[in-house]
Structure 1
């Protein structure tokens, strides 16, 4: 009797245990499903916030671009020209072609500088945008150091040999005589290099520079005396020797060989 009762109790208790395990499994599945749903909701919220942030950034960029491109506060109101003396400011402004009211960001500084640089008298041009409303044009004018007589008039050359103007030579600008007095000609280039290397005591007395070849450069002084220079080499040494020789009587002073100068 006792054994049967134990079996009966065991049989009756087993279904209860299975029912408890089943309820626990259902609860776990529900919890996991809820967690997954919450995670999906969290991801959606994160994506929504990220999308809103992107929209906000784009709006700021577009707004800033619109402000820069269209607001009159950042448009050209002043054009400043620096460094011009012989070239008129109006000529520079005409070549610049930058209208008042144009947004500064739309000013092509490089292209504007190229247009202004087409003025022959200018050696260099720089165009800068200066916020909020200024365009600054800085120019360097060519300085005439020599002139050449051509059938159409007197042409002015700078130290590099650029022929940039037809005009009367200013004081101190000397006559240049070569077979081909144009930019890039080797003889002209060396003759101008010698002129540029002369010490001030001689430079102020020069009236003409002549050169038939690279090794036949001569300096004619205003008083009629001549300094035979030879080529452009050792110009500093030749200048020092020439200063000493010019204190002596003579008409022709040859310093082409500075260690063996001669006077005639």
Structure 2
């Protein structure tokens, strides 16, 4: 009798394999695999575009720099010198060695400024490009401070640097320095020596005192080992010693007032709490 149940002796009807994928689904997966292995054409084009851009930017920059360095638009046409009063502008221009017609962008401003500062009378130099075709040189000159006797009179600045010979008969407002050794004088154009610095320090001490001593002292002799020797406008020799200058200068002002009417040739202040006089060749 037929029934819905099959006999155990009969082969069961075949059931479809639910795990099998249709050809449609399988085809989709195959296509996806193919797309991963072969990049799209748009991606290749983007990569080529980036590469071309990377190559084009340096080339454009190089062409731009070359144009800036060669175009007559930025060729130096004028050079102005400012701040010079004692040093002739022609001397500064010769030291700078800037050629007209050179591109302002080729100019090595640091090297040119260093050449200008090599002039003894120049303290600082600054070089500025003013586009399109001008260069401005601004200098700060060293100021004459006192005179040093070196065969002839030469100016010293406030640091003790030798500036150059005096152009004429000049009476400085501070004492003249003498007695510097030859080797120190030869080096003063590049760097102040120890005795020159000491003389400048002594002059500063005189100026700080605010007394009339600055006008009374005409010369500072730095040649002696025991310290500076001052000479007054009246010819009195003052042995100051190597230390305690400000205290000794304060004493000197009173001493000079006391001996103004006496025949005093030498005043020795090197001893503490004691002043030694020498009159007419005897103490």
Same fold (TM over 0.5): yes
CA distance in 2, matches of 1:223, 1:30: 116
8 Å CA contact retained: 2:158, 2:200: yes
2:258 alignment partner, SS class: coil
**Counterpart of 1:94?**
94
Q: Distance in 2 between matches of 1:42 and 1:249?
A: 107
Correspondence 1:219 to 2:230: yes
How far apart are the structure 2 equivalents of 1:126 and 1:195?
A: 28
CA separation of 1:100 and 1:254: change in aligned 2, threshold 3 A? same
1:126 matched to 2:125? The reply is: yes
After TM superposition, the structure 1 = structure 2 runs for residues 79-90 of structure 1, keeping only pairs within 5 Å, are 79-90=79-90
State yes or no: 1:248 paired with 2:252: no
State the Cα deviation string for residues 177-207 of structure 1 (Å, max 9, x = none). Answer: 3161524654444234323331253223332
RMSD: 3.5
Unaligned runs of 5+ in 1: none
Distance 1:185 1:9, change over 3 A: closer
For structure 2, list consecutive stretches of 5 or more residues without a partner in the other structure: 279-283
Residue aligning to 1:45: 45
1:25, 1:86 → 2: CA distance? Answer: 97
TM-score normalised over the length of structure 1: 0.75
Aligned to 1:194: 202
TM-score by length of 2: 0.71
Q: Secondary structure at the match of 1:145?
A: strand
- Cα drift, residue 219 of structure 1: 1.5
* Contact persistence 1:79–1:135 (CA under 8 A): yes
Residue 281 of structure 2 corresponds to which residue in structure 1? none
Instruction: Please show how residues 60-209 of structure 1 align to structure 2 within 5 Å.
Output: 60-122=60-122, 124-132=123-131, 133-150=134-151, 153-167=152-166, 168=168, 170-172=170-172, 174-178=175-179, 180-181=181-182, 182=185, 183=188, 186-199=194-207, 200=210, 201-209=212-220
Higher helix share: 1
Which residue does 2:244 correspond to in 1?
234
CA–CA distance in 2 between the matches of 1:169 and 1:229? 28
How far does residue 29 in structure 1 lie from its aligned partner after superposition? 0.4
Return the alpha-carbon distance in structure 2 between the equivalents of residues 83 and 68 of structure 1. 30
1:262 shift after superposition: 5.2
Map Cα deviations across residues 103-152 of structure 1 (whole Å, 9 max, x no partner).
Answer: 22221223212322343333x232323342323232323525123142xx
248-257 or 80-89: bigger deviation = 248-257
- Distance of aligned partners of 1:169 and 1:109 in 2 relative to their CA distance in 1, 3 Å threshold: farther
Would you say how many aligned residue pairs link Structure 1 and Structure 2? 255
Q: 1:212 to 1:95 in 2, by over 3 A?
A: closer
Structure 1 residue 10 corresponds to structure 2 residue 10: no
Q: Is the 8 A contact 1:186 1:214 kept in 2?
A: no
Equivalent pair of 1:76/1:135 in contact (CA under 8 Å): no
